[in-house]
Structure 1
Amino acid sequence: MLKTYLKQAWELLKQNKLFSSLYIVGTGLSIAMTMVIAIVYYVRIAPVYPETNREYTLVVKTAQMTKEKNMQAAMLSYAMLKEWMYTLKSAELVTGVYSPWGNNSSYIQQSETEEEVPVQVKYTDENFFGVFPLTFLDGKPFTEADRRSSIRNAVLTDSYARQLFGTTQGVVGKVISLNYTDVKIVGIVRGGSYLTPDSYAQLYLPYSCMDGYDKKGRLWGIGAYRAYILSKGKDGIADVKTEVDELVRKYNAAGGDDNWKIDLVGQPETYWRNTFRTFQNQNIDWTKVIGTFAGIAFVLLFVPALNLSGMISARMERRLPEMGVRKAFGANRGLLLKQVLWENLVLSGLGALLGLVVAWIALVISGHNTFSLFESYPSGVPEGADASLGMDMLFAPAVFVVAVLFCLLLNVLSALIPAWQSLRRPITASLNEQK
């Protein structure tokens, strides 16, 4: 029976080329826009290289300190990272990333050409390569001893190594000049994309190489660090949150630092939840988030469904005599309805394929520009940074699932109501309908 439906659908497609083309293009454009949004948010929250541990990673990016009517908020202090985060017994690994304020532009000085090449540097610790498992192509990461001793051992990405040396072979052990200071390369990793900014860099160095990395601020909890906590599986997420909450409670109960109270504003929180924060020192406005997605669903699903249902309704009017004949020979309403849905599913499927191709082309051409449309405060890609889309981003199974579900839903919404209304007519009315 299914084979018969598909064959009939194909014949109708060839007989009504204009209708079929308009239906496929309309469906394709709707699905293309949906897939663009699906891929953007997939890249933001799903486990993509090198942030493959997102499902088990919690983040703490902001500390807020209050005293009476005074309030200050910024990233975490080195003291909090060292005394709280690194000591978490419920965590598998904890890494800290140092992001000092001000102009942090960095350059590699090439002695052969006397050229300065811009470089994206991430100042972190040895645990970074465990929380964000970058693949080492050569060498190894810098060690805890390197960090404690402020030794300038660096890890380069393969793409940046090729930019500097034309190859990734034989690079480990070389010394380069970073901001007129010698740095030794100890490892080469397969680089990620700027679309995963928490892990992206072209060069990784121990944060202890930076002057003032352990400087104590005016307030104990305020500084320039972000903490990423790898939990012991899904079950360990609650344990980490409980342990951190207890540290906050004890600190505040003891009077804090000169009666300043600390608040981590709902953190540590899972990676996907943190994605929806507009401001790190404010809780997530879920009403706004849900409203945004509801608006997107209305524009991309219900509006196209209404337009397509109008087209189907007009076609059903022309097919009433055919349906009347089939009813006269014993076909019931359910059988005819099933046939109409399968016919339109074929068209929706072709539209879905067209939509996927259009979405992929649009994302590859536009790159980071499309991703920045969905950011509250978009920023450009730094000079020389790689913002390409990996294969695991474009061809993710979850994206195909979204395409299939959207295709089915669009088919049901656009075809079911007009087909049901047309098939409710009596046989005599259908037979007497003029073509």
Structure 2
Amino acid sequence: MLLNYLKIAWKVLLRRKFFTFISLFGISFTLMIMLVVMAFVNHVTGGHAPEKRIDRILFVSFLAQEYRDGGNRNTPVSADFIDRYVRTLKTPATVALTSMTSSATSFANNESLTLDVRYTDGNFWKVTDFDFLDGRPYSGKEVSSADRVCVINEHTARAFFGTTKGVSGRDIEIGINRYRIAGVVPDVAVIRFYSSADVWVPYTLSTSYVKSSRLDGEFMAMLLAKPGSEQLPAMHAEFAGVMRRVQPPNPKEVKSLHCHADPALSSIVREITMHTKTEDDGMSIFLLGCSALGLLFMLLPALNLVNLNVTRIMERASEIGVRKAFGASGGALVAQFLVENVVLAVLGGLLGLGLAAGALGLLNGSHLIAYSQFSLSWWAFGWGMVLALVFGLMSGVYPAWKMSRLNPVDALRGSGGGPQ
């Protein structure tokens, strides 16, 4: 029986090509957008190189200062802040320092290059998981002594030397400074906000690094937790306790200070939702909003399908009348119509998968986001298909019930009259 339903569904879809096209477009386009968005989110916050252990890392990104005159200021923190209040934490396995990226101009083979430079400490290479193509990371000792060493990415190595091998130990001129190359690493997507760069150098060489009591600066901290599911909450709680004891250096101007140790996505959401002054990172609001938008986005094609299906019933009234005249039950007609919708949802889902793969391929090939290689999330595709099937069934329930209630006589006349 099911095989017959599938054959009928296939014939119906081929017979009404315009209806099929509109329905497939709504389902596939919706699923494509969902998959592309999830690929982007996964690329930003997922456990990929060089942040393979991102599920064990908390980030101290911004210090919020609330002024007595009502003003606010959000900035990265200083190296001194990290030394005094972050490195002293007992719960993390390792605390690393990294900076915002800055641009530097260099020349390679008579061509000008603009390079992103990131300043880090030696622990940065212990918290991250870079696969070195050549050489090694610079050490904590080299950072302390402010040695002019650097690590460069694959793109920079090829631009200067045409290869990634045998590059370590050679010199490179970036801006007005000359550095000795310690190692070469694969390119990192620029949307990995805490680790991407073209060139990494010791933070003690940064012009913004000064030994002072200032709390704001150009740096961020990465806290790697010890193994264990309870370690992240423990790190978060310990840092929150430390921050409650931090006093503003200029209390006549600054009313309060706020800084948090958050997972990667939470640190971004906190800034977007402006939850910098509370322990609540805004994730619940963010997830609720994303869920509502996602359901609304999926609901729109479902409502469109309902309208199209009701219209299609009127067009198939005579066919339904013949089937009912020959003894087809209401349940059989409902089952057939639901099978047609499921087939449509599956085809739309597969088409959406193909469109998403094509869109991500074009995005990767365009190099619109430097060094990014987006990939499909099969987890997201699975949930997308489940939602497509659910909404496909939902969009078919009312039309199927309405079809099963048609009066055979009116249906044979093609009037689509009232129910039995």
TM-score (structure 1 length as normaliser): 0.82
CA deviations 1:226-255 (Å, max 9, x no partner) are 112222343211100111122123335xxx
Is 1:234 equivalent to 2:235 in the alignment? no
* Match of residue 138, structure 1, among 134, 141, 150: 134
CA 1:364–1:296 in structure 2 vs 1: closer, same or farther (change >3 Å)? Answer: farther
What is the CA–CA distance in structure 2 between the aligned matches of 1:288 and 1:249, rounded to whole Å? 25
Match of 1:354 in 2: 351
2:305 pairs with 308, 325, 329, which one? 308
CA displacement at 1:399 relative to structure 2 = 2.9
Inter-CA distance 199–417: structure 2 relative to 1 (3 Å threshold): farther
Q: Structure 2: where are the runs of 5+ without partners? A: none
Greater shift in the superposed pair: 326-335 or 205-214: 326-335
Aligned 8 A contact 1:35 1:359 in 2: yes
Shift of 1:394: 2.1
2:200 to 198, 204, 209: 204
Runs (4+) off by over 6 Å: 367-370
Q: 1:338 to 1:46 in 2, by over 3 A?
A: farther
Deviation, structure 1 residue 207: 0.8
Distance 1:136 1:84, change over 3 A: same
CA offset at residue 40 of structure 1?
2.8
Alpha-carbon distance in structure 1 between the residues aligned to 2:316 and 2:151:
68
- Could you tell me whether the CA contact under 8 Å between 2:172 and 2:179 is conserved in 1? yes
For the structure 1 residues 299 and 387, does the alpha-carbon distance in structure 2 shift closer, same or farther, using more than 3 Å as the test? farther
Counterpart pick for 1:317 among 305, 314, 323:
314
The change in CA–CA distance for 1:250 and 1:190 in structure 2 (over 3 A counts) is: same
The equivalent residue for 1:175 is 171
Aligned alpha-carbon RMSD (Å): 3.2
Aligned to 1:243: 238
Matches within 5 A, 1:260-271: 263-265=257-259, 267-271=260-264
Q: Is the 8 A contact 2:64 2:277 kept in 1?
A: no
Opposite residue 6 of structure 1, the aligned amino acid is L
**Contact 1:76–1:223 (8 Å) recurs in 2:** yes
Give yes or no for contact 2:51–2:129 (8 Å, CA) kept in 1.
yes
Cα distance in 1 for residues equivalent to 2:267 and 2:380: 21
**Higher RCO, Cα 8 Å, sep 6+:** 1
Q: Name which of 247, 259, 267 aligns with 1:274.
A: 267
**Structure 1 position 44 matched with structure 2 position 44:** yes
Separation in 1 of the partners of 2:123 and 2:378?
A: 30
The separation in 2 between residues aligned to 1:287 and 1:250, in whole angstroms, is: 27
For structure 1, the 5+ residue unaligned runs are 371-380
Q: Which amino acid aligns with 1:84?
A: Y
Q: For residue 160 of structure 1, what is the aligned residue in structure 2?
A: 156
CA pair 330-204 structure 1, distance change in 2 beyond 3 A: farther
For the Cα contact (< 8 Å) 2:61–2:267, is it kept in 1? no
The alignment status of 1:215 with 2:216, answered yes or no, reads: no
The CA distance in 2 between the partners of 1:130 and 1:431, in whole Å, is: 76
Q: Report whether the alignment pairs 1:387 with 2:370.
A: yes
Q: Are residues 173 and 309 of structure 1, via their aligned partners in 2, closer, same or farther at CA, if it must alter by over 3 Å? A: same
Distance 1:427 1:147, change over 3 A: same
State the 1:282 CA deviation.
5.3
C-alpha deviations, 1:166-197, integer Å up to 9, x for none? 11121122111122322111212122211323
For 1:424, the equivalent position in structure 2 comes to: 405
SS in 2 for 1:251: coil
Q: Percent identity?
A: 26
Match of 2:147, SS state, is coil
Q: CA offset at residue 216 of structure 1?
A: 1.4
Amino acid at match of 1:88: L
The residue that corresponds to 1:378 in the other structure is: none
| 1:98 corresponds to | 99
> Is 1:56–1:237's contact at 8 Å kept on the other side of the alignment?
yes
Counterpart for residue 297 of structure 1: 294
Q: What does residue range 112-123 of structure 1 map to in structure 2 within 5 Å?
A: 113-123=109-119
- Listed one character per residue, the Cα deviations across residues 364-402 of structure 1 (whole Å, up to 9, x for unaligned) are 4456999xxxxxxxxxx7xxxx62442xx3222223224
AA aligned to 1:273 is: S
Distance 2:398 2:57 in 1: 45
Distance 1:99 1:394, change over 3 A: closer
Counterpart CA distance in 2 for 1:269 and 1:168 is 35
**Change in CA separation of 1:408 and 1:263 when aligned onto 2, cut-off 3 Å:** farther
- Residue of structure 1 equivalent to 2:28: 28
Indicate conservation of the 8 Å contact 1:55/1:234, yes or no. no
Counterpart Cα distance in 2 of 1:76 and 1:365: 38
TM-score (norm 2): 0.84
Whole-angstrom CA distance in 1 between matches of 2:107 and 2:287: 48
**1:373 maps to what in 2?**
none
Q: Within 5 Å, which residues of 2 pair with 1:78-93?
A: 78-93=79-94
- 1:136 & 1:294 partners in 2: Cα distance? 40
Partners of 1:114 and 1:20 lie apart in 2 by: 57
Q: Structure 2: how far apart are the matches of 1:285 and 1:369?
A: 34
Give the Cα–Cα distance (whole angstroms) in 1 for the partners of residues 255 and 91 of structure 2.
Answer: 24
- Name 2:188's counterpart in structure 1: 192
**Residue 106 of structure 2 corresponds to residue 108 of structure 1:** yes
